[in-house]
Structure 1
Amino acid sequence: MPSPKRSIHVVAGVITDARGRILLNRRTENSDMAGLWEFPGGKREAGETSEQALVRELREELGIEAEVGEWIMDVPQVYPDKHLRLEVRHIRSWKGSPRGREGQAITWVTPDKLSRYSMPPADLPVVAALRHPDRYLITPEPDADDAAAHQAWVARLARALEAGVRRVQLRTPTSPARVALAEQAVARHRGGVQWLLNRDIDLARRLGVGVHLGSEQLLQLDTRPLPAGQLVAASCHDLAQLQAAQRLGCDFAVLGPVQATTSHADATPIGWAGFESLRAQVSLPLYALGGLGPGDIVEARRHGAQGIASISQLWAGEAAGAGR
């Protein structure tokens, strides 16, 4: 019988300079995952608080005295030899000049360039949380192919965007009138909003926007359906689907349902424990879905999600303070 994997708690810091750049540490040749870049920090020892561990690690690694700020997220991750929980904190301020005191290279990176650096699996969801929205609106389908219903749908979408939503999946089935509705929404609000079309790869390619794949499409595709400049996301409900989305090169996925919903009353909720267990087995950025709203974002991030995906609550305008 194989030995049980050890569990470790690592605390990492997001250190930002006056130019908005973020500090990355490169793992040395004698360490696990040598050569990969990561957010600086290290293992929390017995008897230490997270703050104490991070202050100590940054002093040892970088030669700085840090003031630990607000919590960002926890990322559970399964590695071949261990169960890791990566706790990530902002660094409010520090004294000293950061340098690689353990022989490691360090570099300052603008947020938009973070994805260019090869990182351990646990660090990848952190990059997504720092760079991308913490809520993902999934629009309801327009009620009917008539002008009045479409006008009301467009007005509701505009209110959600005014409330701060910046990543949107458009569910507009492919009748000519509804395709025109998607085209109108994208053309009117293109700047500052990340658009994805539900399942329609050809229309997404034509409009130059992203696509959100249904779980049934994941197993039918051999390669990523859109270039890197256009987002590809997927709906997932189990590990096989998450692994397929990761192999395909999806930018993120939606996982659930976490809680019971009236719209999918026959689906069995996975709960937060189930979400975290699946989250730990992939490095894909994930949104938690199912009976959730903006008030659940903190809880979602405790289990490794970058935020929540929602139809009803975000469509109802409950997006105030959407931030990123």
Structure 2
Amino acid sequence: MSDPIAAPSPRSERVVEVVAGVIRDARGRILLTRRTEGRDLAGLWEFPGGKREAGESPEAALQRELHEELGIDCEVGAALIDVPQAYPDKRLRLDVRELKHWRGSVRGREGQALVWVPPAKLARYQMPPADRPVVAALLQPDRYLVTPAPGGADDARWLAALERALAAGARRIQLRAPDTAPERWRALVAAAVQRCRAAGAEVLINGDVELALALSVGLHLRAAQLREHTRRPLPAELPLAASCHDADELRSAQALACDFAVVGAIRATPSHPGAAGIGWDGFAALREAVSLPIYAIGGLGPGDIAAARAHGAQGVAAIRGLWPDAVAEAAA
């Protein structure tokens, strides 16, 4: 469920640093705790943790909070995602860590309700805005391949490159081919969708609502198209995404119930050589505006995923950085 879109409020300068843990049981279920009455966002479910005190490391803060709240001791593992989120009275930084090990008997020592949730069911729980990108980071791909136009290359070569990308693990694909003849593109899309489905990959078509509906696949809206729609143009079971460049476009994407968005460019790119990128700080500032999962785009590749996650991104979206032929050419 998307958040209601309110008028932008003045940006608060009060930053609250919070650390939370992904706690799994022997069956692979993940622990959520419910915010108690009298607190902000009471009744919503969240990943357990709490505020980081001055001078505390994130690891020490999480160990202390989980012991105080749940009665467990733990060894903190890798960072999952660090989500910046703006609230009316504060700016939150939610640093989420996986746990390597934990011991003890989990109980709500502060009267909070607890639930162990199979990962696939996490999205059913009502959560604060900052926790929603965490669910996406746990369940959804960390890279979003955008196909290049086939151009003058033969179609078989383009499809072969797509097959190599799928074989290498690409699981979320945007089919995009500006300036390609419609008849040629429709035939290529049909062949590409067949290959993506066989590989278990999610596929979205850039800009073409009718073609997406005809093939029962996802749709990726261009930023200009956000102004053309007042309601979601696809049924809920088909993925919907949008390209965004500012906070207003992100709010529009959220109002349309988009499943995720793409924001950039982070760096200058060959396709936009005169445009300076917004950088990671610029991305993080936009990330605060909504609770959508957001991919960063613009001069990025797999090596940038850790930096993307550290600034609240789901991962990276790219053409050159993820398309096999372009990667091979860059390495040559």
Same fold (TM over 0.5): yes
Equivalent residue number for residue 164 of structure 2: 159
Question: Aligned partner of 1:58: which letter?
Answer: L
Counterpart mapping for 1:81-100 below 5 A:
81-100=89-108
The one of 221, 224, 228 equivalent to 2:236 is 228
TM-score w.r.t. the length of structure 2 is 0.91
TM-score w.r.t. the length of structure 1 is 0.94
Q: Residues 160 and 317 of structure 1 are in contact (CA less than 8 Å); yes or no, is this contact kept in structure 2? A: no
Equivalent residue number for residue 169 of structure 1: 174
Post-superposition CA distance 1:267-307 (Å, at most 9, x none)? 33111111111111111110000000000001111110010
Q: Are residues 132 and 86 of structure 1, via their aligned partners in 2, closer, same or farther at CA, if it must alter by over 3 Å?
A: same
1:101, distance to aligned residue in structure 2 (A): 1.1
Counterpart mapping for 1:52-91 below 5 A:
52-91=60-99
Q: Report the Cα distance in structure 2 between the residues aligned to 1:167 and 1:108, rounded to whole angstroms.
A: 28
Q: Report the Cα distance in structure 2 between the residues aligned to 1:272 and 1:82, rounded to whole angstroms.
A: 21
1:3, distance to aligned residue in structure 2 (A): 10
1:265, distance to aligned residue in structure 2 (A): 2.3
1:107, distance to aligned residue in structure 2 (A): 0.5
Q: Given the alignment of the two structures, is residue 253 of structure 1 paired with residue 258 of structure 2, yes or no?
A: no
Q: Given the alignment of the two structures, is residue 188 of structure 1 paired with residue 218 of structure 2, yes or no?
A: no
Query: What is the Cα-based RMSD across aligned positions, in Å?
Result: 1.6
Question: Aligned partner of 2:262: which letter?
Answer: V
- Unpaired runs of 5+ residues, structure 1, are 320-324
Q: Residues 24 and 108 of structure 1 are in contact (CA less than 8 Å); yes or no, is this contact kept in structure 2? A: yes
Identity %: 60
- Unpaired runs of 5+ residues, structure 2, are 1-9, 328-332
Equivalent residue number for residue 155 of structure 2: 150
Counterpart mapping for 1:1-324 below 5 A:
5-144=13-152, 149-172=154-177, 173=180, 175-191=182-198, 192-316=200-324
Aligned length: 315
1:189, distance to aligned residue in structure 2 (A): 2.9
Q: Residues 234 and 254 of structure 1 are in contact (CA less than 8 Å); yes or no, is this contact kept in structure 2? A: yes
Post-superposition CA distance 1:227-262 (Å, at most 9, x none)? 121100000011111110011100000000010001
Q: Report the Cα distance in structure 1 between the residues aligned to 2:201 and 2:245, rounded to whole angstroms.
A: 26
Q: Are residues 295 and 264 of structure 1, via their aligned partners in 2, closer, same or farther at CA, if it must alter by over 3 Å?
A: same
Post-superposition CA distance 1:117-156 (Å, at most 9, x none)? 1111111111111100000000011114xxx610010001
Equivalent residue number for residue 6 of structure 2: none
Question: Aligned partner of 2:158: which letter?
Answer: W
Q: Residues 159 and 317 of structure 1 are in contact (CA less than 8 Å); yes or no, is this contact kept in structure 2? A: no
